[in-house]
Amino acid sequence: MANKNSEALKQPLWVNNPVLVQILGICSALAVTAQLKPAIVMGLSVTVIVAMSNVIISLLRNTIPNRIRIIIQLVVVAALVTIVSEILKAFAYDVSVQLSVYVGLIITNCILMGRLEAFAMQNGPWASFLDGIGNGLGYAAILVVVAFVRELFGSGTLFGFQVVPQCFYEAGYLNNGLMIMPPMALILAGCIIWYHRAKNKDLQEN
Amino acid sequence: MATKKFRCKVCGYVHEGDKAPEKCPMCQAPQSEFEEIVEEGAAPAKKGLNTNSNVYTIVYAAVMVVIVAFLLVFVSQTLKERQTANVINDTKQQILSALNLRDQADVAATYDKVITADALMQADGKLAEYEGEFNTSYKGEFDKGNLHVFVADIDGQKKFVIPMNGLGLWGTIWGYIALNDDRTTVYGVYFSHASETPGLGGEIASLKFQERFPGKSVVDNDEVALKVVKYGKADKSSQYEIDGVTGATITSTGVNAMINKVLSAYIPFLTKQCCKEGGCEEGSEECCEEHNVESND
């Protein structure tokens, strides 16, 4: 059982990564990865929300009427996100300003519904909690990697601090404008998936 | 009692009755080859509620909605006061940011010290003290025709801060522009946005963009002349043109439109119209000093 729980936590980090394998949450991954800071904020908030909603749905799983289970899941997620955002507004205003648009993106993030339906409906609260944390972190990890590359080559900064020295620019170095555009996030995610498939041969399709 | 059903494991014949027949009428298999058929769905119904019934579904949905609604109302009501305080604090910080006082530790105290009046512009360009509660949405105020001007005192010099609102690429953008006592030279600006793309349109909120404004002039010949143009197209020698953000043409255009729309409404104030129309000499300093709101106690 302990083994199963640790699998629930570890699997989504790399082998069964939600972005790379389940291809969930791609749209928000495009939107927030132009810079590192929003990517990390988004990754952490998704982690917290997935874990919490996984636990709640897991506790309710035996009572939820089968025919309206998606609606119930949606209500739980939406209520949870709203409450968290209200609490942030009251006690951590700076963070809530940072999150602003992403709050809506969290509710519609397919990772949430995907995990609730695929995992929390069949498993106990503790396993579901770990699954939520694992999937959230797996998602965050991809966001951070993509955002790191995009910010470094697109703006020459990391976390907003200049890291490409001024003398590079004087020598003719230019920031890559394409890196900041959303399509580049897809291309980078594609490269990561390529590497991931090369390492995990059993996932390759013929 | 209800009749039980027994199936012959050899030929599949189904017998109905209280117990299995001694011999299968089809294949003559003995009684031991029969097994009882348990009706599906019957067992869970005995254990507890049937979670698939219509009544259960409707009641469950109703209870769920009521619980969630109460929870949301409760959270929203208990936190409202703190949230409003935060928004007011944030608005004050934004006004101070336009005056180049960014990241203040105690916003309320600095605001009280620096801002001497929250005033409304009158039709002739004079200022009158605003007597309502502190506002956090200047879009609503602008639409109502309440043209706010904040009078600030920085090291003995008078500055005017004007709130602005407009549209970017994805949503609203807003900002504050601080002018020197001459009402045309920019002292500082602050911009923010609801949902512009990070790294592109979102850069209007960065210091790098906002630092291009101070020193520029706002009005020329009674018209708003300050312009945000495409990045790299600004005439370096011009006192009116400012480079936009690279790769964010629509947001930059939005900033330009916002400045133009809002400041056009403030033309009587910016051009000191009261001095021209009033009894006193044109451009006379006393005339305008007189109409300016003096510090509130």
In this prediction, residues B233-242 reach a mean pLDDT of 85
pLDDT at B288: 52
Same domain for B256 and B142?
A: yes
Residues 6 or more apart whose Cβ sits within 8 Å of residue A96: A85, A88, A89
Q: What is the number of structural domains in chain B?
A: 2
pLDDT digits (tens, 9 = 90+) for B43-66: 444 456 677 788 899 999 999 999
Token look-up 């006082």 returns: B101
Length of chain B equals: 297
Residues 6 or more apart whose Cβ sits within 8 Å of residue B273: B124, B125, B267
Residue A33's closest chain B neighbor by CA? B198
pLDDT at B278: 55
Residues 6 or more apart whose Cβ sits within 8 Å of residue B239: B215, B216, B217
Shortest distance, CA B31 to any CA of chain A (angstroms):
40
Residues 6 or more apart whose Cβ sits within 8 Å of residue B249: B230
In this prediction, residues A171-188 reach a mean pLDDT of 84
- This model's pTM is above 0.80: no
In this prediction, residues A7-15 reach a mean pLDDT of 82
For residue B17, pLDDT beyond 60: yes
Same domain for B124 and B21?
A: no
pLDDT digits (tens, 9 = 90+) for A81-111: 888 888 888 888 877 877 766 777 788 788 8
Tell whether B62 is covered by a domain.
no
For residue B269, pLDDT beyond 90: no
Tokens of A87: 């609490």
Same domain for B166 and B256?
A: yes
ipTM: 0.75
For residue B1, pLDDT beyond 60: no
- Domain range for B165: 115-291
Q: Please report residues of B whose CB lies closer than 8 A to that of A150.
A: 199
Same domain for B32 and B121?
A: no
Same domain for B259 and B123?
A: yes
Token look-up 């013929």 returns: A206
d(CA B11, CA B32): 13
Tell whether B81 is covered by a domain.
no
Q: Please report residues of B whose CB lies closer than 8 A to that of A71.
A: 61
pLDDT at A54: 93
Mean pLDDT of chain B: 82
pLDDT at B35: 79
Closest Cβ opposite residue A83 in set B65, B75, B200: B75
**Are A86 and B51 inside 8 Å of each other by CB?**
no
In this prediction, residues B209-213 reach a mean pLDDT of 91
The burial class, CB within 10 Å (0-12 / 13-18 / 19+), for B32 is exposed
pLDDT at B222: 83
Same domain for B133 and B273?
A: yes
For residue B2, pLDDT beyond 70: no
Same domain for B29 and B153?
A: no
For residue A193, pLDDT beyond 80: yes
Q: Which of B50, B71, B79 to probe the A interface (max A CBs under 10 A)?
A: B79
Nearest to B13 by CA among B39, B33, B38: B33
Tell whether B87 is covered by a domain.
no
Q: Please report residues of B whose CB lies closer than 8 A to that of A63.
A: 51, 60
Q: Please report residues of A whose CB lies closer than 8 A to that of B76.
A: 86
